[in-house]
Amino acid sequence: MKLEQWFKNNTWDDYFAKFEEKCKGRYEEIFDRCGGSLMIESLNTGGNSPKPVGCPNHHGKTNSNYVAKVKFKGVSRPFNDYAIGCCNTCGTKSGIFHLRWLRGDSKMKETLNAIRIGMGWSWGYILDEPLLDKEMTAKEREAFLLKENTRKELAEQQRRQREEEAKKKDLQRANFIQAKNRELFDTCLPLNHPNSLPAVKYFLSRGIDVLTMPELTRHIRFSPGYEVFASGVKYDGLYMSIVSKIINGAGELLYWHRIVIDEHGNKMKPHTVVNNEKVFGPSKIKGSAIPGLDNSNRGIKPFKPFLVQGVSEGLEVALSVRYMTGLPVDSATDAVSMENWLPQDGVKVVLIFEDYDRPNDQHPNDGGRGAAAGENLCEKLLEKGILPIRLSPPFEIPQNSKSVDWNDVIANFGSHELPKSVKEWKQLEEDIAQLELFDINALNYLNDKYEFNIA
């Protein structure tokens, strides 16, 4: 058989499936040899868990948001078998598609050729057709296939062993994270505690009186002092912070979200000294997720909706909208989480308070990453029969800022610039409750009354 004949008799999907089969169990070697060494750096420098490294698509502007994922959606996924990596902005990539993205190849064919050449694979090996490589007798072919089957069985045993080892590490990691969480939460005070004044001041400076929202107590608290460890760096001293619980759709704690502040309620950056130079960390940080839990549909979720619900990226947006209107709003905390978010059961309409960001190489359209996250969530909700209403801040980005969000709007103009659908959400909910059918006629009626501007 000739190579041309094989491709004539088979599809591209057949070829790609053969390639994926050969890659599984060898992704670490493939990434190392074929232009994916940045991901190997994440795998090899993180100790018990991969270490975040700089995303190649951010041109070195950040050094901590791209990381190998050895577990995904609560399930162990050894890198050798799945090659999963994630950037908080670019999203999650896996397998050969991950390598293509990392290399920057415009076509998948380039990536496959790089793997074939880098690994020294012949066409006969890739396509399970040894006759493509040389003339073989029937006996030689039988011996070759027996050897290949033995290799596959060994690879499967190794895969199972890796998964078992990953489960043991997950359990150890889960126990460690839960112990550290308890340490942090033991320092926390409710927002209405006299010593929580710095947290109250933080929100007041953004036009939010959190003391009028007692339902926050179980979800958002204040720590008068706890250590900060982020992106592999331990910062000096103890830091005040606003501590929020990130939960999944089942209400299980995944990790915490901290905003580091000073005694006056001003956001600040933790610091330490490395090689005689002062190094500053992020003012907003997240804890490590507990392994084994489903981390989809994650967010800060203090409020219980009925038929109408809101969602935002930032916590400040969620709380300012809630404070001004009473609308239950979840905070997804970042763009990737926004795209993975889902409303609670029974919700019919979701108001998406998206950020308005500057365009970049990854998201060149108007509104940048924030608008892209809103659009992706919109499509997801429509597929589930939920009406999404995208709301973008009606103002230009200030000259020295990267974005503008709805908290900026509310802090400056109160509820004046909020759309009618937000200010009258309670009446909207009552109207939905009266509808016999949530069909196209109902949508047209609601569209006209609340100015959704749905085409």
Token digits of residue 222: 């204040």
Q: Which residues contact 425 (CB under 8 A, 6 or more apart)?
A: 308, 325, 326, 327, 351
| DSSP designation for 416 | T
Give a yes or no: residue 295 inside a domain. Answer: yes
Residues 285 and 326 in one domain: no
Number of folded domains in the chain? 3
d(CA 12, CA 22): 16
φ, ψ at 170 (rounded to 5°)? -60, -40
Q: Smallest Cα–Cα separation from 320: which of 423, 408, 404? A: 408
Q: Work out the pLDDT band at 455, boundaries 50, 70, 90.
A: very low
Residues 203 and 123 in one domain: no
Tell me what the mean pLDDT of segment 122-145 comes to.
75
Select, from the ranges 106-120, 319-333, 406-420, the one with the highest average predicted confidence (pLDDT).
319-333
Give a yes or no: residue 330 inside a domain. Answer: yes
Q: What is the rounded radius of gyration, in angstroms, for the C-alpha atoms of the chain?
A: 26
Cβ neighbours around 382 below 10 Å, total? 11
- Greater confidence, 273 or 137? 273
Give a yes or no: residue 358 inside a domain. Answer: yes
φ, ψ at 389 (rounded to 5°)? -120, 110
Residues 286 and 309 in one domain: no
Instruction: Evaluate if residue 170 carries a pLDDT over 90.
Output: no
Instruction: Give, for 303, the enclosing helix (H) or strand (E).
Output: none
Select, from the ranges 37-51, 182-196, 399-413, the one with the highest average predicted confidence (pLDDT).
182-196
Residues 311 and 406 in one domain: yes
Residues 12 and 80 in one domain: yes
**Enclosing domain of residue 221:** 188-300
Residues 16 and 129 in one domain: yes
CATH code at position 390: 3.40.1360.10
Instruction: Evaluate if residue 137 carries a pLDDT over 70.
Output: no
Instruction: Evaluate if residue 135 carries a pLDDT over 70.
Output: no
Instruction: Evaluate if residue 229 carries a pLDDT over 90.
Output: no
Domain end, chosen from 300, 320, 351, is at 300
Q: Work out the pLDDT band at 68, boundaries 50, 70, 90.
A: confident
Instruction: Evaluate if residue 46 carries a pLDDT over 60.
Output: no
Mean pLDDT of the chain: 87
Tell me what the mean pLDDT of segment 144-153 comes to.
74
Q: Which residues contact 299 (CB under 8 A, 6 or more apart)?
A: 246, 247, 311, 330, 331, 332, 333, 337, 341
Instruction: Evaluate if residue 213 carries a pLDDT over 90.
Output: yes
The pLDDT, as a whole number, for residue 60 is: 46
Residues 416 and 427 in one domain: yes
Residue 324 has, within 13 A of its CA and on its CB side, a CA count of 27
d(CA 70, CA 42): 11
Residues 416 and 290 in one domain: no
387-423, pLDDT tens digit by residue? 999 999 988 888 888 899 999 999 988 888 899 999 9
Q: Going along 16-151, which residue ranges are E strands? A: 66-68, 71-72, 75-76, 85-87, 91-93
Residues 380 and 291 in one domain: no
Q: Work out the pLDDT band at 319, boundaries 50, 70, 90.
A: very high
Domain end, chosen from 265, 300, 335, is at 300
Residues 364 and 386 in one domain: yes
pTM of this prediction? 0.70
Q: Smallest Cα–Cα separation from 281: which of 296, 270, 265? A: 270
Give a yes or no: residue 179 inside a domain. Answer: no
243-281, pLDDT tens digit by residue? 999 999 899 999 999 999 999 999 999 999 888 889 898
The pLDDT, as a whole number, for residue 74 is: 60
Residues 294 and 322 in one domain: no
Give a yes or no: residue 272 inside a domain. Answer: yes
Give a yes or no: residue 177 inside a domain. Answer: no
Give a yes or no: residue 145 inside a domain. Answer: yes
Q: Smallest Cα–Cα separation from 432: which of 409, 449, 411? A: 449
Give a yes or no: residue 450 inside a domain. Answer: yes
Tell me what the mean pLDDT of segment 37-54 comes to.
74
Residues 296 and 323 in one domain: no
